[in-house]
Structure 1
């Protein structure tokens, strides 16, 4: 029987650094819509669902989901593990992908590549990602898990960071789960040097500029296309280069067993620009 693949895109309006970032405009559509557009370009047959919160502020995300004809689930604001589990159960998923909504430049080919690896080794792994360790440019985050794996994490995880970030209980417990990882070819590592995600105003300026540069000629532009663009126009790379390597790990290095201080850095003390 064919397994149902579900891509869960977690999205909310609340953000301490850049509120409402998922609804910022990119070439006439919301950042969230542009990201969903890219996820629908993958070769594998998969359903996408937007998982947001029950907070009234997130009504706008529900309206956007309806506008772009994507199913949605509303759940806990801070317990994203429960939000993912309930969304997956609602849609009868067999395989669940966690992809956060701050990855609007995610390359469909990378999603397919990690899925290919997962299915080629399905009898060997419960969870496969390209994040442990990370080697892809930040913002190409793909985490794949079986429904049984997600269910076990949902039943057993209890720490706040495990609930908030969905998957730490899985990748922090290799004795309980069979873990696989996909790395960038040729032993290259862009994870701390290239930032394609959004958390700050500069990230938005960077992402919007990349879309303006590449989208018209090829709406399915690749991660390699972005890297080539940044080589040709280093001024674009410099827009948000100060935040390269800044990620959520920095708040939990002392709590995480499998993450070191070399895999994160502290954010600059002040944004250079504000929206």
Structure 2
């Protein structure tokens, strides 16, 4: 019997740095729609679910899910682990993927590669990702876990960080879970130098420019195509390069035992405020 793979894309309008970022326009469609389009290019057969909150401001995301003909789930705004688990349970997942909605440039081939590694080692790992540690450009985040693994995390996680970020409880408990990691076959590590994710206005300008340059040529453009583009046109790379390496880890280094300080950095404005203090 084939195991049911469910990809859960958590999306909400609330964002402290760039409110409504998932609904920003990219070539006439929302950023969320462009990301779903890319996920639908995967080779593996998987159900894609948009998981949003019950808050009224997220009604627009539900409407977008309906327009895209993608199933949705509404749950907790702040407890993303619960939202993730409840969505996976509702759609009867055997294998669950976590792919954040701030990754509209994600390469579907990378998703397939992580899934292939997971299934090639079925029974060996409860959880496999390509970000612990990361090597691809930030914004190609793929986390795969068994439903049993997700359920165990949901039952036992309690710290705010574990609830907000869904999977740290799994990483941080190697005696409970068997964790695998997939690294970029190139041997390169662009995780701290190249940023394809969205959290700041500059990230939007970068993503919009990449789509405008590459999408008309080939809808299924790859991570390598983006890298080639920014090598040819370094001014595109410069649009958001000041935020390369900035991620949520920086707020929790005192709590995370499996993340090193060189895997994150402060945003430029945070460094400025620190210096002023």
Q: Report the TM range for the smaller structure's normalisation.
A: over 0.9
User: What does residue 267 of structure 1 align with?
Assistant: 267
- Distance in 2, Cα, partners of 1:167 & 1:128: 11
Structure 1 gap ranges (5+): 271-275
1:115 aligns with 2:102: no
User: What does residue 25 of structure 1 align with?
Assistant: 25
> How far apart are residue 123 of structure 1 and its match?
1.6
> How far apart are residue 196 of structure 1 and its match?
0.1
SS in 2 for 1:228: helix
- Distance in 1, Cα, partners of 2:174 & 2:188: 25
- Distance in 2, Cα, partners of 1:185 & 1:96: 24
SS in 1 for 2:85: helix
> How far apart are residue 4 of structure 1 and its match?
0.3
> How far apart are residue 185 of structure 1 and its match?
1.4
1:230 aligns with 2:230: yes
- Distance in 1, Cα, partners of 2:123 & 2:262: 32
- Distance in 2, Cα, partners of 1:133 & 1:140: 13
1:177 aligns with 2:177: yes
Q: Deviations over 1:122-160 (max 9, x none)?
A: 121000000111101000000000000000000000000
Q: Deviations over 1:178-233 (max 9, x none)?
A: 10000011321000000000000000000000000000111010000000101000
- Distance in 2, Cα, partners of 1:210 & 1:187: 24
> How far apart are residue 112 of structure 1 and its match?
0.3
User: What does residue 92 of structure 1 align with?
Assistant: 92
- Distance in 1, Cα, partners of 2:87 & 2:240: 33
- Distance in 1, Cα, partners of 2:101 & 2:186: 28
User: What does residue 273 of structure 1 align with?
Assistant: none
SS in 2 for 1:33: helix
- Distance in 1, Cα, partners of 2:187 & 2:30: 35
- Distance in 1, Cα, partners of 2:88 & 2:16: 27
SS in 2 for 1:100: coil
Task: Report the count of equivalent residues.
Answer: 270
User: What does residue 216 of structure 1 align with?
Assistant: 216
Structure 2 gap ranges (5+): 271-277
Runs (4 or more) in structure 1 with deviation over 3 Å come to none
1:3 aligns with 2:14: no
- Distance in 1, Cα, partners of 2:200 & 2:93: 33
SS in 2 for 1:13: coil
TM-score normalised by the chain length of structure 1: 0.97
User: What does residue 132 of structure 1 align with?
Assistant: 132
- Distance in 1, Cα, partners of 2:111 & 2:2: 19
User: What does residue 251 of structure 2 align with?
Assistant: 251
1:151 aligns with 2:147: no
